[in-house]
């Protein structure tokens, strides 16, 4: 469909909680395809959520298969509508970045293992288990649907937030 512009913090849409999708219709499928196109076009992203492209739609995409951190443990391209974590365990701190916060990365602690239920692009309910980097990426994108950024989860903005190096 289309590569979309990423909304950059402090854009107010990034702080909105998104309502559930009632039906996976053509409009939602188009948003999902735009999310995939935008993620792939970036060349480095492992996920994008609808608010990041200006859509108030409870949808996200994640694909860690091309990342060195996720290439050995992943489900490939995940297209999720109304994702909800139903179980989580463990704890893992990782340095996270975000296309909506391009100048910074930060240390964030998240669950290491999650079970998540969602509806896929075809309108079918799914439940998957995700571990490690894939679980972290899903949680990061899910936060966008709840109006949260990784900045909101950094325990200390003074010691756990880092300016990205320019290339």
- The question of whether 141 is a catalytic residue gets the answer yes
Q: Which residues contact 26 (CB under 8 A, 6 or more apart)?
A: none
Instruction: Tell me the C-alpha distance between 74 and 145, whole Å.
Output: 22
The one catalytic residue among 79, 96, 112, 141: 141
Collapsed DSSP state (helix, strand, coil) of residue 86: strand
Name the DSSP letter for residue 37.
Answer: H
Residue labelled with tokens 């340095």: 95
Q: Which residues are catalytic?
A: 141
């Amino acid at each position: 469909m289309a590569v979309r512009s990423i909304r950059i913090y402090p854009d107010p849409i990034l702080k909105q909680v998104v309502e559930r999708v009632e039906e996976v219709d053509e409009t939602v499928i188009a948003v999902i395809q735009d999310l995939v196109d935008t993620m792939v076009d970036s060349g480095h992203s492992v996920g994008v959520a609808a608010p990041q492209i200006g859509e108030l739609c409870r949808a996200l995409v994640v694909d860690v298969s091309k990342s060195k951190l996720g290439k050995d443990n992943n489900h490939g391209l995940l297209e999720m509508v109304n994702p909800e974590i139903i179980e989580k365990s463990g704890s893992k701190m990782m340095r996270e970045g975000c296309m909506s916060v391009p100048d910074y990365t930060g240390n964030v602690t998240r669950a290491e293992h999650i079970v998540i239920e969602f509806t896929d692009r075809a309108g079918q309910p799914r439940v998957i288990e995700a571990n490690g980097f894939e679980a972290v990426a899903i949680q990061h994108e899910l936060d966008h649907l709840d109006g949260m950024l990784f900045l909101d989860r950094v325990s200390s903005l003074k010691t756990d937030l880092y300016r990205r190096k320019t290339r």
